[in-house]
Each structure stands twice: as C-alpha cells, then as structure tokens.
Structure 1
Amino acid sequence: MSAIEPQIFDDAETLGEVFARRLLGMIAEARSADRHFLLGCPGGRSPRPAYLAMGRLLGEKPQDISHVTIVMMDDYLVETAWGLDHVPRDSHFSCRRFADEEIIGVLNGGLPKAFRIPSAQVWFPDPRDPAAYDDRIAAAGGIDLFILASGASDGHVAFNPRGSKRTSRTRIVSLAEETRRDNMKTFPDFRSLDEVPSFGVTVGIDTIERLSKSAVMILWGEGKRLAFGHLAGAKEYDAEWPATVIASCRAGEILADKVAARA
C-alpha cells in the first residue's frame, strides 16, 4: 500500500471552498438518485472553513439537502445519577451544541425550510449503548463521506487515544491529557484543564474504516504541521497516531494548506 499524496491549497479558505463545492456536488448526486447521504463529521475546528463555504454557497444557490444525515463522531460525557451521559446540550463544549450551531445551523441558515437538514437527522452515539451506533450506521448503508481531523499533539481522531486498536468500535473512553489540551483550543471558554471532561463517547477506528465509503482528512494551520508529517507518509494504520486510519480508509484523501504542509 502506498502513502496518500496530499492535496495542498494556498490557505484554509481555499481548501474549504474547493472541498465544499465537491461535497455539495456529491450531495446533489445522491438527491438525483433519490437516496440518503450520510456525512460523518467531527466536532472540532478543522472542518469549519468547509462548513462556512457550504453555508455561503447554499445561501447563494439554494440546494435541497434534506436527505443528508449528519453522523457525529463523539461527545464529552459527565457523571450523572445513572452513570456517564452527554454533557448538557447548552454547554459551551457540547458537541451537540456544536452540531446545532456550527454545522446544521450554518448549512440550513440560508435555505427554505423544505430544503433543510431536519434536527432528527443529526446522530450521536448513545453512551448507554455505544455499540448500537455502529449497527445504526451499517443499517443505513454506511457513511458516504467521513470528514476527519487529527489531534495536533497526539494524533487522536474523534476521541480515540494513542494505542487504540484497529478493531475498536464505538465506545466510552478515558480522554488522554493531550486530547483534553487540544480541545481547550477547540472550545476556548475552558479556563483550565481541570474543566475539560475526562470521558467521552466516540466512534472507533473500525467504525471509521469499515463503515465509510470515502474519507477526507483536513489539516490547516501551523498547529497541524506535526500531524501532517505523520499522515503524509502513512501507509497503514499506526496506533501511536490514530489519525493514520485515513491511510486504510476506502478512497482516503488528505487536504492541507501550505502552512500545515510547510509548502
């Protein structure tokens, strides 16, 4: 197996624009074929340029995206009376809030109601039955395109920490300190590491690899230079940098800006 040849763009905005146009084309093709489109999404900073570009393009030229299901990768968990559960939806670091405001809120913003993604078509793994998520995705035919991002310092993908087995599926995990520090940048209202939850529910490496028909890893900015170095040369999955799952995904691609690629 050969390493993926990264596609390099001048900046994050150009990367987002090009990817957004291609993704909207894929979504339109699915609509023409009268089939649903499952889009796997992380809850972090990396895809923001693409979401913003998609929102702008949809506002300029409305397109029916009501057949799209957003399959979210993970969420933070906190202790409750019965055990671990999603953080409150209105928490500044809630991935459910992120999906509401920064994904479907942006994509639906300029569309008539009939063209919008319904809120019921935003999926999250249930911490009370994580394994059911893989079954749900498989029953829906798999994820048409999985957008991926890499942890800047430890290569986590979703909440999968270093050492995650290739066979891992959706589950509850303890969050590594590096992952928690990276996520302080994603959710800057955290005032200290102590405020970042220590547990999360996440799709697994197998979930990403086996249940996606295509996948795109997005890397931009100086903070992703280390990640780019690991991923650009990866030929197979390396548990010491879990984001290398992109190397074993079907139709895997790496999109990066010049800063991340040191180009």
Structure 2
Amino acid sequence: MKVEIHETPDAIGAHLADRIVAGIRAANAGDRAYVLGCPGGRSPLPVYRALESRLAKEPVDCSQLIVVMMDEYLSADDAGGFAPPSASAHYSCRGFGEREIVGRINRGLPDEFRIPHQNFWMPDIAAPEDYDARIVAAGGIDLFLLASGAGDGHIAFNPPGSSRESGTRIVALAEQTRRDNLATFPEFTDISEVPSHGVTIGIGSIAEQSKAVAMIVWGEGKRHAFYRLTAAGAYDASWPATIAVECRNAELLADAAAAGQWGAR
C-alpha cells in the first residue's frame, strides 16, 4: 500500500478533492457515472470541504456522480426489528451524507450540474445484501474513501473479527466502536445513547468492489491506527481497517501528527 504523508488534514483533503474532480471529468468524457464510496465521520470531512471549495470556484458536472455511503446506525423498533434514525438526528449517517457530502458538493453548482437525489445511495436494511449487487451493476466503486476506527480499527461498522468475505449486513456494534463514536458525535453524552447495531458494507464488499481506495488517518489520536495499517501485510481481522492493504490501487494518506516518527524517515 502506497503511503503519503501530508502536513495537515486540509492538505489531504485538497489532494483527494483534486483526484476526485479529475475522476469525475474523465467519467463525464466517457459518458459514464463516477462512483465514489464515502464514509461519514471526522476523517473524510477535509475531503468534502475541499470538494465544496474546489467546485464552487470551478463548477464541474456532477449529475452522474453516485455517492455510495458505507453504513447507518440502527435501533431496535417495537416490532422486534431495526430502524434507522431520522436524517435530522445528529448521528444519522444519512443526514451526514445529505449535509456534508451531497449538500456541500451541490451548494456551489448550477442546478443541471448537481447530484440528483437518486444518486445518493444507502444500504436498505430490509435487504442489505442487495447493496453489493447494486454496486456491481454500477460497475464498481471508482474510489472508496476509507477511515479506521482509533480504538479497534473498525471500518464502516465492521467489528473486529469480521470475515474477510463478509458482505453488506446488519451487525452488532463493538463496544469500542461505540466509544469511538462518542468522540465522533459529541452530542452523545454517554455510551448508552449510542445505538447498539448498524447496517454496514462488508469487508469483502470493500475489497472486491473498489477499483481504488484511499485510507485517511489524521491527528495524533490516529497514530496507533497508522502503525497498524503500515505494519499489516494482509487482512488482520483484529483490526478490520487492514483490508485496505488487500485492495486494488490502495493508498494511505496521513498527516504529520498521525505519522509521527514514521513521517520523519
């Protein structure tokens, strides 16, 4: 896996925004969709902010851009099943995607260049396995932005111990994943408020359906994640984010704070 060290999170964001815009332009020239895999949370925010700034200054037709979200929280419902939160909930992955990804990209674009509603994809909790087939039918994911949990290496909501071959499914969230998300969503005041389940794209889905991946780690709190990712030679189920090393055209982009002494080599 190629490793790039950037001075700041904003530098990572600018680098990846340029790459994504170039990919959208190339896809448009070939009259095809550009499929972008997107996590929620803090790690990719510099990318989404940079895309907003870049496209506001130089609009590009994003009407064929497909945003593929990774996961969503679920809570038990009265019928004994699960239900996602309202998009207005502070922790909703759908709400995050609508505001921080589609909303930012569309904000500075003319109407005819904007991402249409139907090009914002979320896994369906009624048939999560259908998500993988839908992605395959779209030609796969051109670039999947990835992030690693700081405490347990979860990727999307895949907990430690997840099978290398796992597909999109409903999972119980690991306790450490839920604790990590107390920092991601500071409006949670206690772990009891963090949902216990989620629907998530699978480990195998990420590896098999991505043409390229960019793992983003920044901040001193991600230094151990950086170490685990750079030390991995293959998928290690004890740190699920290591699936990145088995993906096609994989890159790890870190800032100086996350890379620590590695970046001084």
TM-score between both structures, scaled by the size of structure 1: 0.97
Question: Residue 213 of structure 2 corresponds to which residue in structure 1?
Answer: 215
CA contact (8 A) 2:36 2:66 kept: yes
In 1: Cα distance, 2:236 partner to 2:29 partner: 38
1:124-163 to 2 correspondence within 5 Å? 124-163=122-161
Query: Moved runs in structure 1, 4+ residues, more than 3 A?
Result: none
Give the structure 2 partner of residue 248 of structure 1.
246
Q: CA deviation at 1:81?
A: 3.5
**DSSP 3-state at the match of 2:166:** coil
Q: Of residues 19, 39, 60 in structure 2, which corresponds to 1:63?
A: 60
2:2–2:250 Cα contact (<8 Å) kept: no
Query: Aligned letter for 2:88?
Result: D
Give the paired residue count.
260
Alpha-carbon contact 1:74-1:200 (below 8 Å) kept: yes
Tell me which residue corresponds to 1:224. 222
Deviation per CA, 1:57-106: give whole Å up to 9, x if none: 10011111111110000000012244112111111100000001111111
Shift of 1:5: 3.5
Instruction: Name the residue aligned to 2:49.
Output: 52
Instruction: Give the 5 Å matches for 1:1-263.
Output: 4-82=1-79, 83-262=81-260, 263=263
Separation of aligned partners in 2, 1:50 and 1:148: 11
Whole-angstrom CA distance in 2 between matches of 1:11 and 1:92 = 26
Structure 1 counterpart of 2:17, one-letter code: A
Structure 1 unaligned runs (5+)?
A: none
| 3-state SS of paired residue (2:253) | strand
CA RMSD of aligned residues (A): 0.8
- How many angstroms apart in 2 are the aligned matches of 1:135 and 1:5? 29
SS at match of 2:170: strand
Percent of aligned pairs with the same amino acid = 52
Contact 1:85 1:128 in 2 (8 A): no
Given that 1:5 and 1:232 are in contact with CA atoms closer than 8 Å, whether structure 2 keeps it comes out as no
TM-score (norm 2): 0.96
For each residue in 1:131-151, what CA deviation from the matched residue of structure 2 results, as whole angstroms up to 9, or x when unmatched?
A: 111111111111111100000
Tell me, what secondary structure is at the counterpart of 1:164?
Answer: coil
Amino acid at match of 2:228: H
Helix, strand or coil at the partner of 2:131: helix
Runs of 5+ consecutive residues of structure 2 not aligned to the other structure: none
